[in-house]
Amino acid sequence: METLELPKDLMYGAVLVSITGRQEMLVENYRGILEYNQTCIHLQAKNCRLLIQGKNLHISYYTNEEMKITGIIDSVMYEN
């Protein structure tokens, strides 16, 4: 797998998270939303779950591939 030099998110279906400062977060390669309210967002990815906690969490947009979360992010946690 390493020798092929393929992107890992494609091969493993790994979740991609990019966070800009504390206010903005872009999640790609996720499966679905498990829970959503103002203080926490629970997302399902292929191999794990993602728990985002914060204040005033707000989903700017979401599609099948990616979602954008704005608000004040306190923590990002991985669960199995």
Partner 1 sequence: MFLSIVKYFQGFLLVRLRGYSPERFLNLCSNHNILIWNLNSRGEYYEFYISIKGFRRLKPLLKKTKTHLTILKRVGFPFFLYRYRKRKIFFLGIAGCIAFLLYLTTFIWLIDINGNSSITDETILSFLEEKHSAFGTKKSKIDCEKLEEDLRSRYADVIWASVRLNGTKMTIDIQENLLGSKNHIESKEAMDGAYDIVAEKDAVISSIITRKGTPGVKAGDTVKAGDMLVSSRLDIYNDSQEIINYVYTCSDADIYGHTTYTYEDSFPLEFTQKVKTGETSFGYELYLGSYKITIPPFTKPKEPYMIYKENHQLAIAKDYYIPATIKKITYSACVYQNITLTKTQAKQKANENILQFLKKLEEKGIQILDKNVMIEFKENRCYVKGSINALEKIGRYEPAEIEKIHTGEETKEYESD
Give the E-state strand segments of the chain in sequence order: 16-20, 24-28, 32-36, 40-44, 49-62, 66-79
**Binding residue for partner 1, selected from 59, 74, 77, 78, defined by CB under 8 A:** 59
d(Cα 30, Cα 59) in Å, to the nearest integer?
Answer: 14
Which residue's CB is nearer to partner 1, number 3 or number 64? 64
**Binding residue for partner 1, selected from 38, 47, 72, 78, defined by CB under 8 A:** 38
Listed ranges 7-15, 16-24, 46-54, 56-64: which one lies at the site for partner 1 (CB under 8 A)? 56-64
Going by C-alpha positions, the residue among 12, 14, 22, 31 that lies closest to residue 52 is 22
Residue numbers at the binding site for partner 1 (CB under 8 A):
32-38, 57-64
